[in-house]
Structure 1
């Protein structure tokens, strides 16, 4: 069974994953600046319970949280990092074909060369029973990529294209990237997926971003192979309480809201479900070294 599923995985995912993996390997192999910096982080984010949108007597609140850790290395021409996060998304209505324990590990980064900028990430994302029993299928392979070209050498405007799961199934969208700094701080627009303002020194940050990804799923009996799609608009204000020192980490606190949160998954009784969860607030704390 495992060999059949593994063959299915490699066959259907190689068409786009192999070029992305080659691109990431090229980025890693690029010469790094001598004075590069690296950091490690731990993150915890917790949402208020979502109200189930349907008036179903058996339905209860949907709870969600996130634990994450990662490592970054920043150089003069780009950055590279590895990230892992775990999100329990507990849907307690119907008969979902997943256990709600979503794991994701990705690696990748950014590369800047003259007028060109590349952002690429690849990895694995699936439910816990898939990793526990090594019963993988093709949807476990995941990734995102974006490529930009500046209008000219002095322009802060770049045009490009990006492909990811932010709006559901994997799709390519045109992207416009613009950066600007003034006395009020640093502004970054990456339309249509992100707007960000950061104060000088990075103590304050306000971010509006489209978040979305896919996790491969298995039901409890490991007979039904499917995927869960989670996407939302997320706005978050963060404040760096203190900078990192020799004996203590930096501490960043955040508060925000998830708006237009949608989840699509397979239900063993009702078929494909595409539900909009209620808008809700969340809080976060991030430690960095």
Structure 2
């Protein structure tokens, strides 16, 4: 018995080429920083008439490195999420690993954002039993308006809204007395205070992880998407000896997962809403 998800779109070559293009230039006046991240959600209530079902718990750990330079940024990120679904017989173990490489770059009127990497369950990496769904990425291309350089139009492709799809994007940046604003419709709104202590964001999140069951016979994928809102506060700035410490509180809204169950087939479930807290150390 083998489950297969929707056909994988042929976006990988484009993402890889654009990601490589971000690496090629020599960085001048660049600055580096690394980070550690921990985020934990309150348990999700299991949806549906399943009296014996346990709540779904979720936790995320991450680390990464990023280089900032005048025309953009480039970095390497890794995160691990434990999404513990203890109901039914899922064709996955709920231990989700993701490693991505990429960044963004301004090229005249054009802005390119691209990331490529691997995303899958822990047993895939442990057994080195990969299948085609493990390749992952996202890409967006914008062109600034001649009349207003702060406004740009473009298109982006990723898993934010479920399966991989291309979505028209409109990006607008503004600096005023209240701080710096970034509006990237329909996926992101971000505000940053002038002193960089406070940051507020609303963002559409979504991705795909390749999955493998215990017997290494069932190849499938897990899709997770949500709206996430978060307010962060930097309680101390970093220095040569100690990292910057950033605390956050937020909520995941309309969290949905789609995965394969041995008995029920494809599940597309609304886990609901949950608050979370986070701590980030940045050097």
Flag whether TM exceeds 0.5 (same fold): yes
Q: Distance in 1 between matches of 2:271 and 2:198?
A: 29
Pairing 1:21–2:16 present: yes
Whole-Å separation in 2 of the counterparts to 1:18 and 1:67:
29
Q: Hey, what's the Cα distance between the residues in 1 that align with 2:133 and 2:183?
A: 30
* 1:116 aligned onto 2:110: yes
Higher helix share: 1
The answer for the alignment partner of 1:62 in structure 2 is: 56
Aligned residue for 1:196, secondary structure, equals: strand
* 1:85 aligned partner: 79
Contact 1:32–1:77, Cα closer than 8 Å, also in 2? no
For residues 196-253 of structure 1, what are the alpha-carbon distances to aligned partners after superposition, in whole Å with 9 as ceiling and x for unaligned?
Answer: 1110021101100000000000111111100000000000000000110111000000
Structure 2, unaligned stretches of length 5 or more?
Answer: 1-6
SS of corresponding position for 2:14? helix
Gap change, CA 1:190 and 1:14, over 3 Å in 2: closer
TM-score by length of 2: 0.96
Q: How does 1:1-289 map to 2 (within 5 A)?
A: 15-33=10-28, 35-152=29-146, 154-289=148-283
The answer to whether the 8 Å contact 2:9/2:164 transfers is no
d(CA) in 1 for partners of 2:266 and 2:14? 31
SS in 1 for 2:242: coil
Unaligned runs of at least 5 residues, structure 1: 1-11
How far the C-alpha of 1:40 sits from its partner, in A, is 0.1
Write the distance in 1 (CA, Å) between the matches of 2:8 and 2:255.
Answer: 27
TM-superposed CA distance for 1:20, in Å, is 1.9
Q: Distance in 1 between matches of 2:140 and 2:10?
A: 17
User: How many Å apart are 1:22 and its aligned residue?
Assistant: 1.8
Aligned residues: 277
How much has 1:19 moved relative to structure 2? 2.6
The residue number in structure 2 matching 1:4 is: none
- Residue 14 of structure 1, CA deviation: 9.3
What residue number does 1:8 align with? none
Q: Distance between the aligned counterparts of 1:244 and 1:267, measured in 2?
A: 46
Please report the RMSD computed on the Cα atoms of aligned residues, expressed in angstroms: 1.2
Shift of 1:31: 3.0
Structure 1 length-normalised TM: 0.94
